[in-house]
Amino acid sequence: MTDRAELVALLRRFRTGIVSTIAATGAPQSAIVGIAVGDDLELVFDTLSTTRKFANVTRDPRVAVVMGEGELTVQIEGRANVPTGGELARVQAIYFAAWPDGRERAAWPHITWVRIRPTWIRVSDYAASPPAIEEHAV
């Protein structure tokens, strides 16, 4: 699995992931979120602007994400941001394609969307013999 399209297809197999952010104190904080994956390898999730993860990514955009099932896992490091304007509409379309019920949440007070642009990805398949592990700088 060496090209971007294969990475996108793999990540789209997973509906949720654990997003880890950095608190103001430097402590790690994690949450399970529903994730959508764009064709450009962007990860998108919705959250409330009142959450810890939102405060964390707006202060320090460095994040880590883990997705997977069984013995197939993907570790991702990247940078998060909160799109606005036309970019917000574009990432919402990515999110709504994967999570149609997100349209209902769009009316919630404090709802917002976060985009993660990966900088590093490790795919580990421990069901393979020997285990198959690939790293990608993106």
Residue-wise pLDDT for 70-82, tens only, equals 999 999 999 999 9
pLDDT at 121 exceeding the cut of 80: yes
Encode pLDDT of 86-101 as tens digits: 999 999 999 999 999 9
CATH number at residue 48: 2.30.110.10
Residues 75 and 122 sit within 8 Å (Cβ to Cβ): yes
Look up the domain containing 68 and give its range.
4-137
Task: Please give the structure tokens belonging to residue 84.
Answer: 């606005």
Confidence of residue 3 (pLDDT cuts 50, 70, 90): confident
pLDDT at 2: 65
Number of domains in the chain: 1
Residues in the chain: 138
- How does the average pLDDT of the chain come out, rounded? 96
CB 66 within 8 A of CB 73: yes
Read off the pLDDT of residues 31-70 as tens digits, 9 standing for 90 and up: 999 999 999 999 999 999 999 999 999 999 999 999 999 9
Work out the number of other CB atoms within 10 angstroms of the CB of residue 27.
Answer: 9
